[in-house]
Amino acid sequence: MEKRGLAILGSTGSIGTQALEVFEAHSDKFELVVLTANSNAALLIEQAKKYLPNTVVIADENRFEEVKNALWEDDIKVFAGKEALSQVVQMDEIEIVLTALVGFAGLEPTMSAIEAGKNIALANKETLVVAGELVTQRAQEKGVNIYPVDSEHSAIFQCIVGEFHNKIEKIYLTASGGPFRGKTTEDLKSVTKAQALNHPNWDMGAKITIDSASLMNKGLEVIEAKWLFGLKPEQIDVIVHPQSILHSLVQFEDGSIKSQMGLPDMKLPIQFALSYPDRFKSDFPRFNFADFPNLTFEQPDKDTFKNLQLAFDAMGASNGMPCVLNAANEVTVQAFLEEKIQFLDIANYNEKAMIHFSGSSASSIQELIALDDSVRSYVDSLI
Ligand code: NDP
């Protein structure tokens, strides 16, 4: 098997570091071409020295000298800045780009990689939330595959492999419920940042962990699923499954339901997105039925966790509304992490932004960038 050229955007993050573990276990199958970080120069340098990629990018230009000086003797090319991310993904040696950076910043490099005909292993769900129609349309035109990394979407993808000609009637995205499952609005008034960051099942980056606590993550995944699998909003449902063993379910037209199961471990969906259509042997811990005598399911509480309802509303509204919700949420989550607002303010400000920008439309990347910018300024002014 010829080695697949691999670029990992966001290699210093939670998904990025796990992707490097997958690469290390299968370095006979991949050629590591590009690693990138935002500002964590120390870890990027460490990774580059260990894995010797062709090129690294540090998005924060202030860290360029540090990275350049550290890597000059290793014969690794070093670039800096946001534009460099979009340029390096087009390198000839790359076959697949893992987009593991966080937030709206993933949109332009992902589009650039698609333009160059590179397959995408997509962790950066915000890209599809903001520009699902443009991204999937362009991918189709360029013959590019988008392989999901999100565990729920990977589960659905794994269920429909071999069933591509069979129609999906409905999908159920499973949600753990996060650290605040079962809490009331009254309870949520006083929760702290540390409590919100304490996810029961998954160890992830800070932004997605807060999104999981507020159920915004599930909302973003609903919109992501719509674009990845070409579904109508009424074909997507969310079910809370606190044990995170069933990673999502697909119901076909004959009523049969398939699910993909396993312990919560992101390395598996990362690996499948990179190895598809093959499955590589792994030593990931195996699921033991005796450890989980009760797998339970319950309805999500969309009244208390308003963000989930907001995402369904945004999906059904104008084509700019998911971009509005995403931009507002990136600002409010950051403000919560900086302890400038309370937990419940996240959804309240997100809702205000959706009302303020109701009816917004954006049909090009430039218009989406401008809309994202306006929403950020508006939400900043509220905070
Ligand atoms: P982290 O915050 O752990 O890592 C983010 C990575 O992106 C880091 O390498 C960071 O660099 C880089 N980055 C952040 N902002 C920018 C920017 N503006 N420009 C360029 N690079 C940037 O995030 P996660 O790994 O948790 O999540 C990554 C994506 O994957 C998100 O979209 C998330 O929703 C999705 N996802 C994550 C899962 C998980 O288990 N973590 C599960 C499913 C999906 P630096 O280190 O220098 O800051």
Query: Ligand 1 centre and the CA of 207: distance in Å?
Result: 8
Hey, what amino acid is at 4? R
Ligand 1 contact via 201 beta carbon (within 6 Å): no
Closest-CA residue, ligand 1 atom 19, reads 38
The domain boundary, picked from 148, 171, 204, lies at: 148
Query: Ligand 1 centre and the CA of 106: distance in Å?
Result: 9
> Which is the closest atom of ligand 1 to the Cα of 40?
47
Query: Per-residue pLDDT for 183 more than 90?
Result: yes
Cα(321)–Cα(232) distance, integer angstroms:
16
Q: Considering its fold, how many domains does the chain have in total?
A: 3
Residue that has been written with the tokens 């999981």 in this structure: 212
| Residue 24: per-residue pLDDT | 98
Residue that has been written with the tokens 């063993």 in this structure: 245
Ligand 1 contact via 109 beta carbon (within 6 Å): no
Does 25 share its domain with 126?
yes
Ligand 1 contact via 15 beta carbon (within 6 Å): yes
| Residue 272: per-residue pLDDT | 98
Q: Calculate the alpha carbon distances from 177 to 172, 195, 275, 312 in Å.
A: 14, 14, 30, 17
Output the average pLDDT for the chain.
Answer: 97
Does 64 share its domain with 12?
yes
Section 129-136 average pLDDT: 97
| Residue 202: per-residue pLDDT | 86
Within a domain: 269: no
Query: Ligand 1 centre and the CA of 182: distance in Å?
Result: 28
Closest-CA residue, ligand 1 atom 21, reads 38
Closest-CA residue, ligand 1 atom 16, reads 38
Query: Per-residue pLDDT for 1 more than 80?
Result: no
Residue that has been written with the tokens 């010829």 in this structure: 2
- Picking from 254, 255, 249, 217, the residue whose alpha carbon sits closest to that of residue 236 is 249
Contacting residues for 363 by C-beta, under 8 A, at least 6 apart: 134, 319
Does 10 share its domain with 34?
yes
Q: Calculate the alpha carbon distances from 243 to 18, 184, 285, 297, 298 in Å.
A: 22, 21, 16, 9, 12
Interval 51-60: pLDDT, tens: 999 999 999 9
Beta bridge partners of residue 240, listed in sequence order:
175, 298
Cα(91)–Cα(85) distance, integer angstroms:
11
Does 200 share its domain with 231?
yes
Q: In 252-285, which positions are buried (b, 16+ CB within 10 angstroms) versus exposed (e)?
A: beeeeeebbebbbbbebbbbbbbbbeeeeebeee
Q: What is the DSSP code (8-state) at residue 289?
A: G
| Residue 206: per-residue pLDDT | 96
Does 157 share its domain with 299?
yes
Assign residue 368 the CATH number of its domain: 1.10.1740.10
| Substitution site in 8, 60, 85, 102 for ligand 1 pocket (most atoms within 8 Å of beta carbon) | 102
| Residue 303: per-residue pLDDT | 97
Hey, what amino acid is at 37? A
Query: Ligand 1 centre and the CA of 45: distance in Å?
Result: 17
For the chain, what percentages of helix, strand and coil (3-state, to nearest 5) are there?
A: 50, 15, 35
Interval 71-117: pLDDT, tens: 999 999 999 999 999 999 999 999 999 999 999 999 999 999 999 99
Does 205 share its domain with 105?
no
Does 166 share its domain with 299?
yes
Assign residue 133 the CATH number of its domain: 3.40.50.720
The domain boundary, picked from 102, 132, 148, lies at: 148
Task: Count other C-beta atoms under 10 Å from residue 62's C-beta.
Answer: 10
Within a domain: 275: no
Query: Ligand 1 centre and the CA of 16: distance in Å?
Result: 7
Section 119-140 average pLDDT: 97
Section 304-313 average pLDDT: 98
Q: What is the DSSP code (8-state) at residue 105?
A: G
Interval 136-151: pLDDT, tens: 999 999 999 999 999 9
Query: Ligand 1 centre and the CA of 41: distance in Å?
Result: 15
Does 170 share its domain with 194?
yes
Q: Calculate the alpha carbon distances from 20 to 11, 51, 184, 301, 330 in Å.
A: 7, 9, 40, 36, 26
Interval 312-367: pLDDT, tens: 999 999 789 999 999 999 999 999 999 999 999 999 999 999 999 998 999 899 99
Interval 14-55: pLDDT, tens: 999 999 999 999 999 999 999 999 999 999 999 999 999 999
Does 256 share its domain with 322?
no
Cα(343)–Cα(382) distance, integer angstroms:
15
> Which is the closest atom of ligand 1 to the Cα of 39?
47
For residue 256, the SS3 value is: coil
Ligand 1 contact via 63 beta carbon (within 6 Å): no
Does 28 share its domain with 71?
yes
Does 306 share its domain with 230?
yes
- Number of residues assigned to the chain: 383
| Substitution site in 8, 9, 15 for ligand 1 pocket (most atoms within 8 Å of beta carbon) | 15
Does 103 share its domain with 170?
no
| Residue 355: per-residue pLDDT | 97
Query: Ligand 1 centre and the CA of 232: distance in Å?
Result: 28
Within a domain: 42: yes
Annotate 43-85 with DSSP letters as a single string: HHHHHHHHH--SEEEESSGGGHHHHHHHHGGGT-EEEESHHHH
Query: Ligand 1 centre and the CA of 296: distance in Å?
Result: 30
CA 15 to chain centre: 9
Section 156-166 average pLDDT: 96
Within a domain: 178: yes
Within a domain: 85: yes
State which residues form the domain around 22. Answer: 4-148
